[in-house]
Structure 1
Amino acid sequence: MFGEEFITWLTRIVDILLVAFVVYKLITIVRGTRAVQLIKGITVILAAWFLSSLFALQTMQFLMNLVVTYGVLAIIIIFQPEMRRALEQLGRGRLFGRGPTPEEKNSVNTIEALMRSIRYMAKRRIGALISIENETGMDDYIETGTPVKAQISSELLINIFIPNAPLHDGAVIIQNNVLSAAACYLPLSENPFISKELGTRHRAAIGVSEVTDALTITVSEETGDISVTKNSEIHRGIDEDRLRKMLENQLLKNVKTRWQWGGRKNG
């Protein structure tokens, strides 16, 4: 007898937990869409329907019955895109998977903005110097530049480094997926073994990598080559695939990617 009651209660608990989980995932899907307003409207209608039944308001109850009867069809027609997206995610097996956190979404947006802007500047040989803070703070270098405190976008980065723009001379520093400052001065490396082909931007990238664990991207205005500097090493001639992997390694802490440098090391 005890075993049957235990199984019954366990089944009910599992049933409730599954329903709660499904409702939670549906909420995450509709969050930020028009369906949020739909849910609010449905809540009001259900409340009116319940009150009309409770207080025997026949006219109101008749109207609510009509709304509920024909409202389902209206919902299917009006909110077809949201329902299609939910079904697509279900078909891909993503409905019940772990969704990205806000921090991961911000990091992905930062990576995409960096890739688009660097691709644009490299093709047009627009010099750029972008340093991404890691564990070691870069507040001292941020204070040397102009505060920006803006969301990162490719348009913003490109406009900063356009020749003769007010902030193009110096480095952009990114902290926690925020463009903290532009026109920052980074320490120049005094390493005598650095190739004499490298200019001030590259020496600054190496210099900041000698005193911090930041990842610094340099675009040469002479050749358009992309260089990445970290841990006192500069690697030149980086292609887009390797650059993306490096950015993921730096910005997405939970993504298991290896550093795939390639290119020419230290000149």
Structure 2
Amino acid sequence: MQETFFDNLTTGTIITSIIDIAIVWYVFYLMFAVMRGTKAIQLIKGIFLILIGRLVSNFFDLTATTAIFDTVLEWGFLAIIVIFQPELRRALEQLGRGSLFKASSSGTKVTTEKLHKDVLRAVQYMAKRRIGALIVFEKETGLQDYIETGTRVDANISSELLINIFMPNAPLHDGAMIIQTDKVTTAASYLPLSDSNVIAKNLGTRHRAAVGISEVTDAFTIVISEETGHVSVTHGGKLYQALSPEELEESLIKNWTSIQDIKEGGGLFARK
């Protein structure tokens, strides 16, 4: 009688296979946990598209296209090491500190309406007194690379906190404040400056940084000019200047509500 695959299965083999699969899945989970909150997630999507393209080209017997995909995949390992170098370094550092295996805790959830009021109150206060400010709201694309350039705050959002951070001569007033969901994560962070020629020359570094971060991520940003007190916002690589309080509130509700809905949805990629 011909042997089948199931005839060779034993209890020990089954247990070993389950442990093997569990370890592999846990390693992948840790990789995603480390890359979560960074731009590496977008690069992973690109890798999946390359793999799908390879399968499709092979299915339709596209010789030249398949050869190109094979070359990309052949050198992909070295490219991944170069591209993901910051994430790999961060993973090793977290592994050494033992923080990679700690469960993240979710803070106290505050109502969206209160958060909007606190931000609007702080922005209006600073605009009237021409206090320069740059506030970045993280959306789907993680801002961890820029968070690490600033000073960690990890505090609940309040109008008093936002105003105090940006007060002139305060230690953290230079640079950008980054907000994740309902927390002020960091202050005095450095952002990439835009090279766009469309930006008016009379606008300073804050506005160029606000446009710059919106060009490389999907972040929503509020900028207050210390020269004019005008309030502007950026998203999608575009700058919208001199907004009225009503326009600012409408833009904040439209963009920040979607931010919270995305992150409070849970799942592996939800940042808590």
- AA partner of residue 207 (structure 2): H
CA drift at 1:219: 0.3
Q: How many angstroms apart in 1 are the aligned matches of 2:181 and 2:135? A: 14
Question: Which amino acid in 1 is paired with 2:226?
Answer: E
Mind listing any 5+ residue stretches in structure 1 that lack a counterpart?
1-101, 256-267
Please list the CA deviations of residues 5-39 of structure 1 after superposition, one character each: whole Å capped at 9, or x if unmatched.
xxxxxxxxxxxxxxxxxxxxxxxxxxxxxxxxxxx
Identical aligned pairs, as a percentage?
A: 54
Instruction: Give the secondary structure class of the aligned counterpart of 2:111.
Output: helix
* Whole-angstrom distance in 1 between the partners of 2:171 and 2:190: 14
Question: Distance in 2 between the 1:173 and 1:108 partners?
Answer: 19
Within the candidate set 203, 206, 223, 2:208 is matched to 203
| 1:28-177 paired onto structure 2 within 5 Å | 105-177=110-182
The code of the aligned residue for 1:120 comes to Y
Query: Which residue identity lines up with residue 143 of structure 2 in the other structure?
Result: M
What is the TM-score normalised by the length of structure 2? 0.54
Contact preservation (8 Å) 1:106, 1:177: no
Query: Does the CA contact (< 8 Å) of 2:109 and 2:182 recur in 1?
Result: no
Alpha-carbon separation, structure 2, partners of 1:237 and 1:133:
22
The higher-RCO structure (CA 8 Å, 6+ apart) is: 2
What's the secondary structure of 1:250's corresponding residue? helix
Considering only aligned residues, what root-mean-square deviation do their CA atoms show, in Å? 1.9
Q: What are the superposed Cα offsets for residues 134-158 of structure 1, whole Å, 9 maximum, x if unpaired? A: 1110011000000000000000000
Q: TM-score, normalised by structure 1?
A: 0.55
Partner of 1:190: 195
Equivalent residue number for residue 249 of structure 2 = 244
Q: CA deviation at 1:105?
A: 4.5
Bigger radius of gyration: 1
Aligned length: 154
Alpha carbons 1:126, 1:219 under 8 Å: kept = yes
Q: Which residue does 1:46 correspond to in 2?
A: none
- Pick the aligned partner of 2:226 from 221, 224, 236: 221
- Quick one: distance in 1 between partners of 2:256 and 2:108? 10
- CA–CA distance in structure 2, aligned partners of residues 135 and 159 of structure 1: 28
Q: Deviations over 1:228-261 (max 9, x none)?
A: 0000000101011111111111222399xxxxxx
1:84-106 CA deviation, whole Å, 9 max, x = no partner?
xxxxxxxxxxxxxxxxxx99843
Amino acid at match of 1:134: K
- What is the deviation of 1:130? 0.2
Partner of 1:39: none
1:44-98 per-residue CA deviation (whole Å, 9 max, x = no partner) reads xxxxxxxxxxxxxxxxxxxxxxxxxxxxxxxxxxxxxxxxxxxxxxxxxxxxxxx
Query: Using the alignment, how far apart are the partners of 2:146 and 2:230 within structure 1?
Result: 25
| Cross-structure match for 1:50 | none
SS at match of 1:121: helix
Tell me the alpha carbon deviations over residues 117-176 of structure 1, each in whole angstroms, 9 at most, x when there is no partner: 000000000000000011110011000000000000000000000000000000000001
Give the equivalent residue in structure 2 for 1:234.
239
* Structure 1 pair 104–238 and aligned structure 2 pair: CA distance change class (3 A): farther
**AA paired with 1:150?**
A
- Partner Cα distance (1:205, 1:126) in 2: 16
Once residues 104 and 242 of structure 1 are traced to their aligned partners in structure 2, the CA distance between those partners, rounded to angstroms, is: 26
